Amino acid sequence: MKEVDVVVIGAGFSGLTFAHYLPNKYRVLILDRKSKLNSAIESTGLITEVTKNLFADFTDVEAFLPNHITTISVVSPDYNKYFFSHTEKPWIYSTDTPEFLKHMSETLPDNVDLKLESSFVDYSIEPDHDYPVKIIYNQNGSGQKELRCKFIVGADGVNSKLAKVNSNLSTNKKLLVGYEKVFYGNINLGEHPESTVYHFWFGEFSLGYGGWLSPTIVNGKKAFRLGLAKLEKDKDKIHLLEKFINKLKDEKIIKIDEEHKNPIHTFAHSIPIGGVLPDLYDGNSILIGDAAGFCGAFAADGIKGSIISGKVAARLIPKYLEGEKNILNSYLKEMNKFNHLISYYRRQQLYRALWNRMKSDRSFHALYNLIEKEKEGFLNQFCDNMTKKKGLTKVILKLKNIPALSWYAISLFFDLFRK
């Protein structure tokens, strides 16, 4: 039976980062269900400046960033009002995510093996064995196989199978379901659409999260990604994406290439919004990335949590294997050293609670009118800035905004009586 030191379930951002950072004296095997390295993946592919720099420490991220985003645009429910908030330097970047993950896979250290078309099934612990973790997996339809290791890492996403087979590990309960399509074509809103991301606020579409539109480059041609996310309980309404696309076409906000009217790619993915999970490790196992709930409940930014958790786990697990059995208790503390990331995730829970109470265009209009007053500082509440404690509350809680805040509160009250 094959024996390795560490088995990683999942070759996404968290699993690959972990494998890049783990000391090369450990033999690592990554099991992943994908059939090829650049298969479509479950991510919007947007990364922040901090995340880009984290990647740059160990891989060539610059080669996979087609768009440098300096602007966010928020569009009101009636589409006739919108504003732009700018930064001098890029605050996020779009990535050629499938090709980037392929590059990360192809540049893994020599101590790491990657098995595609390999699905984790179950595992058990035999404490007295030198390789106490016994793993069962399926490979390429050829039936079940077994292997042994000293430690297992769950980097297998929001619906982690590792967490499901171990009742001592937590699972994600609160999810958004995202649906996204990519088209060749142009965005026609604003002066610099190639460096702008757009968020659309409207009652019908925004229950749960809202609609987004971002530029990208596919095969050297201009393209855009647009999507919609709903709470998991409303996932049957995800078909509203088609209505959203048609609305953007009618408003002439997008123009799909006449020669390529069908989408280039279609993505469907789940996004954890329940916050950091309470039980992330158990004996010889640990959860990282989305499997651990490391994703902002409102602004998402899950890729950053994947990179940082992979990096931290790669530092802690060697100490565990060398006899420091309590070292995993410092997991969240070590995560929080990266610009207060865990604290940021916790603050995001407040924004999620407010957003979930908005049920009408009236409330989204009220929020839009409030945020528009502070559009110059609006980007301070997003992602990297928010981890530095420049949150939305500090942007909008001003005396001059009391009338707008009051109307927003009244709108939320009325929404309590809507189904």
Q: Domain containing 212 — which CATH number?
A: 3.30.9.100
Mark the ranges of the chain whose per-residue pLDDT is less than 50: 386-387
Alpha helices in 269-419 (DSSP H): 302-321, 331-336, 341-356, 361-372, 383-387, 392-396, 402-415
pLDDT for the residue numbered 117: 94
Are 74 and 182 in the same domain? Answer: yes
Residue 63 in domain: no
Are 20 and 120 in the same domain? Answer: yes
pTM for this entry: 0.91
Show contacts of 51-56: CB within 8 Å, 24+ apart: 51/301, 51/303, 51/304, 51/307, 52/93, 54/304, 54/307, 54/308, 54/311, 55/307
Any bridge partners for residue 82, and if so which? 75
pLDDT for the residue numbered 232: 87
The answer to whether 11 and 30 have CB atoms below 8 angstroms apart is yes
The answer to whether 301 and 383 have CB atoms below 8 angstroms apart is yes
pLDDT for the residue numbered 250: 94
Are 248 and 382 in the same domain? Answer: no
CA distance 383 to 49: 9
Last residue of a domain, one of 256, 272, 288: 272
pLDDT for the residue numbered 388: 53
Q: Is 153 left (phi over 0), alpha (psi -120 to 50) or beta?
A: beta
Q: How many domains does the chain have?
A: 3
Are 298 and 212 in the same domain? Answer: no
Are 151 and 282 in the same domain? Answer: yes
CA atoms within 13 A on the CB side of 267: 23
Are 167 and 306 in the same domain? Answer: yes
* Residues of the domain holding 123: 2-42+99-173+274-344
Helix 97-106 to helix 13-21 angle (10° resolution) is 30
Are 103 and 22 in the same domain? Answer: yes
Are 252 and 126 in the same domain? Answer: no
